[in-house]
Structure 1
């Protein structure tokens, strides 16, 4: 809802016409008034209750219980004047963030773009796009508007977020609100509070190594301040995240910085919400020095899945494009994110939501037997199983042969008679071919903790 700049009572942009509030929660309604100690009253059309608070130094805030999914509703905010919010839905709200593969819209590159755009008539899905802006200090508000999902709005919105939201709406039958706060090219550090990065000597040193860019921010906290902090009062169901490519040059620090992002966001929201993320796709990086920088990012992402609770990881090594860092198959990315949410957040039964994930291994003479979670039976698709390497104590990896044994894989190489470690899909451009029965791909992994490449 656009308010006059002379309005005497005003709300943040996220609280506006067409918005979606999280169902069965305590939604915070907040804003400002030019009368510093004014009494503010809020009424809604989903209840007869009246909610009242008093502004302090011009700022006011209160919590309003929300019902089960439904709408549309009206919210009235009354003081010395009245602000009316119309066409408000109650449903599921997700914060969608990261770099370009989250930001990318259908108009920038999408399989079957015209067909998908024309079919995007979902009035109970709502979009909020956060304007790209960096700030040295934490902001209370940002520009943006809620929009109803239709072809004219979907074509400029995040493709991944849209397909994620469409899958939730289709399966759950409730309104879905999607907040797209992403900026192509950004490393993880700008999305974390500056004080937190600078309090850790290792992370501070790594952040200083990131190359300066004209097109996107690199300094810690600069997007957190302007593109995350303004929404901390807004109740969300969870977060989806697609980022990592821009941290390849300091991949070792991602083992610490990525889990830290999740922890600090949850602390800031005071909510241990689910955090589902996408493992970066294979790509032929022209600036690669070792052809393994992205592999270490994927490994850090896998490590986060295993060590941080209430997280989920989508593997994309089968739907990437070695010559396009922005793969156009965003449909499967969004759907795979939704599988995690449907199974783990919404409790939908009988859904396979993860591909095979490394569980453990046994060394048996010259061979290594690898076991997996999320894999009652493994398949290699239409190709011979590949992308395995093994090494001995010299830490030199050799291509290995591999054979599926039910839900395990046996790996060996004549070059390594006494293996100690195995890796799978551990290069920037690896195209692994290991799947479970549901056709979901196995994550790249390594069994060693060697820092060398």
Structure 2
């Protein structure tokens, strides 16, 4: 009996000692990338009242913090311009040494399978790109698929350096985004956090509280049907795959999703709510760049794909510091997973370089619907980013116009300066216009930068 009691005391001692150790979320691990020129938050858990010291290797500065009564602690450390590798030492009852830390630009890559899609899936020129993917200044973190009905504090994962092996399993869009970014930013490390789940609707990627506060989005969420590909209940992926990241300083977000919301008439409000949800969670209005879904055979008895594309177009007009890339010129209508991910990632990076980093002033948007006017029985359509308009095949059949009755007819289209003049015999008094309004319509209107016009319908 005495021997057993000694054994129990020993177990208790070991347990108490172990529970006192400082622990960190997995996002804080060897190889992580911290956002440059920022007050980067670092947090973890330890015994309440335990004295913890954080030593940052780039400047030798010490930060001291004490966990609260929930065993949680956090501290903000000032990061330098860019560089590395550096180390961070965290001391409590135990000591953690984090190595190979880079200081640079951190972006979250999220959405469904087109963002998740990697070179191993068979992207265009994937094998050639894999072979040369040795970039020590690009680091990846992949969040595992998981769902939860309550917000989580951590998830499994680790940072990896970009090598042919790691790149082959990472988001191809994210990878090409990083490649283009490093060209202009010259020597600044890039950290990418991939959190994706194929076949999932947007509603699972925002908090349940956000949905509950918006009756329109709430109704859309209630209409979702169960799926074999993943959860459809509100907040499930947000709780498990986004919430543990909140507070980790980022430059911005890349988003590629929408195919699983086909059928929604309010996707613009859904996506807008998601963007605001994330920004409110992080506490600042980071740039949010997203990909317009590509044409695909969703069914010819409805324009569901076109409606989502138009909804995505509207978001950049209503939510500040957002941007959209159009993909209807680089895809085939029989593949919901377009293989050309390089153009997508490059266009996203070009948006960031012009709008956020301001390293150049190139045109990075295709023609975007602006307004209409009626002159001499013709409907004239004006666009933003309309310099040098041209039709790919000299003419187009993608414009339709309607009168007050809302009945659309194919229109004869002619480029007049930076506008499109539209007319139809059956519509003597045109009021409305739409462009590329079939699910499979591929853009044929471009500007001088060679960028395609977005699907649109006038109000």
Find the aligned partners of 1:7 and 1:410 in 2 and give their Cα distance.
Answer: 73
Unmatched tracts of structure 2, length 5 or more: 1-17
State how 1:372-387 maps to structure 2 within 5 Å.
372-387=383-398
Partner of 1:338: 349
- Residue 258 of structure 1 pairs with residue 274 of structure 2: no
- 1:45 — aligned with what? 57
Check whether the contact 1:388–1:424 (CA below 8 A) recurs between aligned residues: yes
2:6 counterpart residue number: none
Q: Quote the Cα distance in structure 1 between the aligned partners of 2:369 and 2:43.
A: 46
1-side partners of 2:443 and 2:184: how far apart?
Answer: 30
Q: Which residue, out of 453, 456, 459, partners 1:442? A: 453
Between the aligned partners of 1:329 and 1:184, the Cα distance in structure 2 is 18
Moved segments of 4+, more than 4 Å: none
2:332 is aligned to 321
Check conservation: 2:21, 2:92, Cα contact below 8 A: no
Find the aligned partners of 1:10 and 1:119 in 2 and give their Cα distance.
36
> Distance between the aligned counterparts of 1:50 and 1:207, measured in 2?
47
SS of aligned partner of 1:239: strand
Indicate yes or no: 2:296 matched with 1:283: yes
- The residue aligned with 2:282 is 269
The alignment status of 1:87 with 2:96, answered yes or no, reads no
Post-superposition shift, 1:199?
A: 3.2
Match of 1:104 in 2: 117
Quote the residue 1:451 is aligned against.
none
CA-CA distance at 1:6 after TM superposition: 7.5
1:126-137 residue pairs with structure 2 within 5 A?
Answer: 126-137=139-150
Find the partner of 1:219 among 233, 252, 265. Answer: 233
Aligned residue number for residue 196 of structure 2: 182
Contact 2:200 2:229 in 1 (8 A): no
Q: 1:308 corresponds to which residue?
A: 319
Counting only pairs closer than 5 Å after superposition, residues 156-175 of structure 1 correspond to structure 2 as 156-173=169-186, 174-175=188-189
Is residue 54–residue 60 contact of structure 1 (8 Å, CA) maintained in 2?
A: yes
Pairing 1:8–2:26 present: no
The total of aligned residue pairs comes to 440
Structure 1: 5+ residue stretches without partners? 449-453
Q: Is the 8 A contact 1:193 1:220 kept in 2?
A: yes
Length-normalised TM-score, structure 2: 0.94
How many angstroms apart in 1 are the aligned matches of 2:116 and 2:455?
Answer: 25
2:247 to 213, 230, 233: 233
1:56 paired with 2:68, answer: yes
User: 3-state DSSP class of the match of 1:50?
Assistant: strand
Q: For residue 418 of structure 2, what is the aligned residue in structure 1?
A: 407
Shift of 1:213: 0.8
User: Aligned-pair distance for 1:48?
Assistant: 2.4
**SS class of match (1:85):** strand
Deviations 1:343-399 (A, max 9, x none): 011011231111111111111233111111112210112442231000112211111
Which residue of the other structure, out of 48, 51, 72, is the alignment partner of 1:36?
A: 48
How far 1:405 sits from its partner (Å)?
A: 1.5
Distance (whole Å) between structure 2 residues aligned to residue 156 and residue 240 of structure 1: 18
1:126–1:147 contact (8 Å) kept in structure 2: yes
Cα root mean square deviation, aligned? 1.3
